[in-house]
Chain A
């Protein structure tokens, strides 16, 4: 080996997950869905709002999961796409007067474009470099949103207030509940889309790239296309989540979309289990409720609790919620036999 060259035997960025293990079984799915539909009927508006946020973040975590669990690239910059989606929805609703539901596909498409374009330079980066580039994107985003040039549209530092939609057709449910069900429908649609995407030809191409890029290109997979495509799809879904988030929180401001959000989403994915789509909702619940609980124990402690819990997850259940689910399944299986 010459002195100039350095041979790297890179460990894979992500451990492979078999395709079948990506989703829940039908029975379990229906039980979970039933719970998600019925639960909010008996809860206070504030808790319903929090559940809505869980669904919204779950979408963003799911998007990251498609990127990382699917194609093996990772991103610490999802907050940037989330912000673009949120601002698209907010601007269309407040400045153009568009219906909130219509703003979501537009947010999705715009973010898809951004993600696809960002994926182009990102093609040449892998592993840790990609993490760094996306980290940079996330850090830059709040600064860009504050720029004077866009102030007329974005509201600058103050941000924009978004009107909360009423339930349509005079349905007798509160705004919070309506928004929850609206979010639930969007989430289910995107979840089904994601599963089908990963099971499709494109999904298999993603996974081939994840497991061995060189082998994948040798098999005739257009690595560049599929890598950027994964970025685009992931960004698009994150954008829809961002738009929903803007509608639910009724407010967008640059400081809501900092690197902290990006890190939270990343943690949500790790906790939920990389490559296991249902884990997204577990991870999302983790990043929404754990800081609250930690803050309740001692003010200012949430970061430490967050970090310690994360280390516990990494050490004890490196595959996150998926591992817990598998262990639980085995236990139930044993009980049935016994």
Chain B
């Protein structure tokens, strides 16, 4: 076991992927000499050279479009989108090309492109630096969407994403980049849990609380706080946002009868809406209360000094848990 930050774990995973396959290459803005604005690719260009760790012009559509062509040629591009809010110039290439080239070519051409996106808020950034755009991509057939919450998952899941023959959106919780954890760097990738599966990180019996990426830690804090009040929360880290591991999620809801979903992204049309709908369809007769979403509000990501009102925090998640338990008066603070 090695102790690493989440960012360092991704760096180690990228290094392992580059070493394992000469067709794997990294592309992005400032990822070379600088090592990325978050230093996630630190040292990799020096180790693998400028053709395998390519600094690109400042054009996100250009990065994704050229990655498509490299995919046609048999390459496995790993692209970095510098910040979540900068992904939209590439949206057309991702939605119209990356996601459907495999289908368009009747399965002949695979585009094993990994799109790394530092995402989410809580770091006091300027506008366009704290977005949570994952729902756009989860909605798009042909893409896989994942988000790790721990250094161990970051290390294994980045390698699994690169190894996948499908395009993968890899959402990195940027406010967790510097959180440290133990990483087993020696365990063979084949022995790791698949990237598509959810992970029950706290076992409980009263309420199922679903989170991913930056809010998993907050959800676990909620479970700890609730335990002191005699409430048993089961926390599940989704890990994969598309597809969803509905079997694992449904099993938990069938056990607890109560469901809370939390994410930073706005609630309307978000992942929470899909999860609640899917689980209600599957578990309607098990539910003892209407499912609850605790999400960002339906506003543009706010200026830094308003972030604390926007981001679901421990108190708002606890409030959501109270609502799911049917506690009277616990209404404020939940989105939707």
Chain B associates with chain A: no
B interface residues, Cβ below 8 angstroms from A: none
